[in-house]
Amino acid sequence: MQHRKPFDLQWLLIAYNAAQVLSSLALCIQPLFLGGVGLLFSISCNDAPVVDTDLQLTIWKGTWWYLVLKLVELLDTVFFVLRKKQNQVSFLHVYHHTIMAVFTWGYLKYLP
């Protein structure tokens, strides 16, 4: 790979980034339409209110989609390598993307 030219991924990256932005925006806006933010979280130290099971299922699905997005974001590193942008593949970059995926999986596995 050392003597090969870097891949030209400009259009793939534009499509990838647009899909990531739209997917993340959809995940951020969804709770506003459900009205679930006020039902799930309380400002005071009282117990959390009882939540509708349909709302819980929707939140569960949203969390799974979040995990899928975190796994897809691991492609960032692959794109850097294919474009021979090794200076952008730092320890912090790899650590961040790995930890986000692992912690999201752990949340889905052990917390709810």
Catalytically active residues are 96
Q: Which residues, in sequence order, are CB contacts of 39 under 8 Å at separation 6+?
A: 49, 51, 52, 55
DSSP state letter for 60? H
Q: What is the DSSP string of 72-83?
A: HTTHHHHHHHHT
Tokens of 67: 């995990």
Closest residue by Cα to residue 72 from 101, 96, 102: 101
Give the angle subtended at the CA of 95 by the CAs of 90 and 97, to the nearest 5°: 100
